[in-house]
């Protein structure tokens, strides 16, 4: 057993468990952690508030899924009827949050949770206000910085999101989601990143890829994260074929089922086709048997035949394959 786990177990059996765990993690990792006392009455009330929120959200999600299924059979509710029902179900949750925060206005985690609730129900401006309040009350909570960075990445100012993601990572360098969100925003808003960091586009690509790699290093078996990294190469020009193939090969290694693996084979085939490695592309395509990929598979086969015919008549590089 590692010394870290031994120390953590010792903290867990201490008399003042929350303080012991917090102090141990801070000493060992350098990351401050506030561990609430589960016996505190305010903490108990806060936990019940989160349970109320989770239960309501879960029920609403089920209603939406069921209505979608009924709608496909011509029996769904009218949009206004479902919206009214959802609003009525979530109303007591909103009231509970507001009541709690009236009595505990300095509870940073409640502001953070309420901000997420408001964001989920599309009251984004109010949600941001509570996230900002959470950040002011507890500036060492990385989740508040990350949530605000997500918002500014979508709603602007985008450059502010770069600062906030960096702060979230500074506060918790072990959370892969922060790196992943940061990487995606840098890649999507390349012009802003070029201006903010005073670098060129290729360096922006490199920065985004490095952030993805950091996330994957922390969560190496995350297939979605691996494919996010690999997908990035579709937007990079000139094409980095070898790097792209390596990224898709890694995604193939961490895929958990045949459907995921066959999807990766198609991506590998695309890049190999673009690199005029026709035999290898054909082998990848041949490994795809799932009907869900039939359209994409046939399209790639047509492109493969077209590119091979072009290659026979010219030495010029072929055009990019379809994406």
- Domain spans, the chain: 1-35, 38-138
Indicate if the pLDDT at residue 173 is higher than 70.
Answer: yes
Helix (H) or strand (E) holding 23: helix 17-29
Confidence of residue 6 (pLDDT cuts 50, 70, 90): very low
pLDDT of residue 225: 96
Cα Rg of the chain (Å, integer):
25
Q: How does DSSP assign 70-85, residue by residue?
A: HHHTT-PPPHHHHHHH
Indicate if the pLDDT at residue 32 is higher than 80.
Answer: no
More confident residue, 4 or 74: 74
Report the alpha-carbon distance of residue 83 to residue 86 in Å, rounded: 5
Average pLDDT, the chain: 85
pLDDT of residue 320: 53
Confidence of residue 14 (pLDDT cuts 50, 70, 90): very low
- The encoded tokens of residue 75 equal 């029996």
Average pLDDT over residues 42-60: 91
For residue range 246-281, what is the model confidence (pLDDT) as tens digits?
999 999 999 999 999 999 999 999 999 999 999 999
Q: Please check whether residue 147 is in contact with residue 160, taking contact to mean a CB–CB distance below 8 angstroms.
A: no
pLDDT of residue 318: 53
The second-level CATH assignment, the architecture, of 38-138 is: Alpha Horseshoe (1.25)
The backbone torsions φ and ψ at residue 107, rounded to the nearest 5 degrees and listed phi first, read: -85, 100
User: Model-level pTM greater than 0.75?
Assistant: yes
Share of the chain above pLDDT 90, in %: 68
Average pLDDT over residues 140-146: 95
Among the residue ranges 28-37, 50-59, 208-217, the one predicted with the least confidence is: 28-37
Q: Please check whether residue 109 is in contact with residue 46, taking contact to mean a CB–CB distance below 8 angstroms.
A: yes
pLDDT of residue 40: 82
Indicate if the pLDDT at residue 91 is higher than 80.
Answer: yes
Q: Which position has the token pair 């999600």?
A: 61
């Amino acid at each position: 057993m590692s010394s870290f786990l031994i120390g953590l177990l010792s903290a867990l059996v201490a008399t003042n468990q929350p303080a012991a765990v917090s102090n141990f993690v801070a000493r060992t990792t350098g990351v401050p952690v506030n561990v609430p006392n589960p016996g505190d009455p305010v903490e108990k009330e806060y936990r019940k508030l989160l349970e109320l929120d989770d239960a309501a959200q879960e029920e609403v999600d089920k209603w939406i899924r069921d209505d979608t299924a009924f709608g496909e059979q011509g029996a769904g509710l009218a949009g206004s009827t479902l919206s009214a029902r959802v609003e009525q179900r979530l109303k007591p949750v909103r009231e509970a949050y507001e009541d709690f925060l009236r009595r505990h206005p300095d509870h940073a985690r409640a502001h953070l949770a309420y901000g997420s609730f408001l964001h989920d129900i599309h009251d984004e401006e109010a949600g941001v206000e509570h996230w900002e309040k959470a950040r002011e009350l507890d500036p060492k909570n990385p989740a508040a910085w990350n949530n605000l960075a997500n918002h500014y990445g979508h709603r602007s100012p985008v450059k502010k999101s770069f600062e906030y993601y960096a702060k979230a990572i500074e506060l918790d360098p072990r959370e892969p989601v922060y790196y992943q969100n940061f990487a995606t925003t840098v890649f999507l808003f390349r012009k802003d990143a070029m201006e903010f960091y005073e670098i060129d586009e290729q360096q922006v690509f490199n920065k985004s890829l490095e952030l993805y790699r950091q996330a994957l290093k922390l969560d190496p078996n995350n297939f979605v994260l691996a494919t996010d990294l690999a997908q990035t190469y579709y937007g990079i020009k000139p094409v980095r074929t070898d790097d792209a193939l390596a990224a898709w090969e890694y995604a193939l290694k961490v895929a958990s089922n045949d459907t995921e693996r066959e999807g990766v084979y198609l991506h590998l085939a695309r890049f190999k086709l673009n690199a005029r490695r026709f035999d290898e592309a054909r082998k990848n395509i041949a490994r795809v048997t799932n009907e869900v990929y039939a359209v994409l598979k046939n399209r790639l086969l047509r492109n493969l035949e077209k590119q091979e015919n072009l290659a026979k008549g010219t030495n010029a590089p072929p055009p990019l394959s379809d994406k």
